[in-house]
Amino acid sequence: MEDLIKNNNTINLYRKSYHPTKGLGGDKDLVPSATVVNVYRRPDGDDGRTRRASQITFASEGGRMLVAHAPFEFDPLLRSQTGEAWLWDVEVAATPLSPLFAWTHIMNVHFNPKDPVIIAGALFTGHVATWDVRVGPNPTAVSAFEVSHKDVATAAQWVNSKTGTEFFSCGLDGQVIWWDTRKLTEILDVAWCDPEKGFCRPEAAIGATVLEYESSLPTKFLCGTERGTLEKVNL
């Protein structure tokens, strides 16, 4: 035991090996810097249409990312334009692994955290859709028109569930809808972005633009609105 104690005491655990603003070996200031490693260009970038990147999301494994391209202005004339998102290998910038297609702009996409080959997305027409990259670039399921958002669906976000098939979506109609990918003809539940605490009134709802969910808080999520406010919602 004495030998072990002496060996342990030879190391000063509390010594400052470096200063956060100094270099490791001297007094020269450490200047933060960044370098562009890869540039990812969509294959249809020369078609003359401006398609902004509206969403970038990473898979939980496999080094893959998804980039959706959609307009930031919500012009009704844009509903008839086709949309796409591109699946990339982060280490390979030359060409994407696969496209995701839809009949309208894909506003937002997210990998299923439990099964990254399944993707959920929000569409410009108010629908939500899911894709399976093993099947092909077209949606494998689309929400029914009568239960979809009545305005642009702006975001889709997976939630922590036993089945791994449930997700939320929000839209400019002020709705937050709870879905199960196994049956997009029905909704599990719906909430309205009411700006007054404690209420959930459809007539007072304001448009929602973004969702965020943390699995460590399984009964709560945040919703950002077009007025710049944040709402915390309890399920």
Mean pLDDT by 10 residues, the chain (235 residues): 82 65 54 86 66 87 90 67 88 91 91 93 94 94 94 92 91 93 93 87 90 81 90 79
**Distance set, CA 124 to CA 18, 70, 128, 162 (Å):** 51, 8, 9, 29
pLDDT at 67: 93
Amino acid at 96: P
The tokens for 228 are 């710049």
The tokens for 230 are 């944040």
Closest Cα partner for 234 from 187, 195, 188, 200?
200
Q: pLDDT of 105-139, one tens digit each? A: 899 999 999 999 999 999 999 999 999 999 999 99
For tokens 């919703």, the residue is 223
Closest Cα partner for 122 from 133, 108, 137, 112?
108
Q: Where are the domains of the chain?
A: 42-234
**Helix H or strand E segment including 220:** strand 220-225
pLDDT at 195: 87
**Distance set, CA 187 to CA 13, 64, 86, 229 (Å):** 56, 30, 28, 26
The answer to whether the CB of 161 falls within 8 A of the CB of 181 is: no
pLDDT at 79: 62
d(CA 223, CA 235) in angstroms, rounded, equals 13
Q: Does this model's pTM top 0.85?
A: no
**Distance set, CA 211 to CA 108, 148, 186, 201 (Å):** 10, 17, 21, 19
pLDDT at 162: 86
Q: Enter the CATH code of domain 42-234.
A: 2.130.10.10
pLDDT at 168: 92
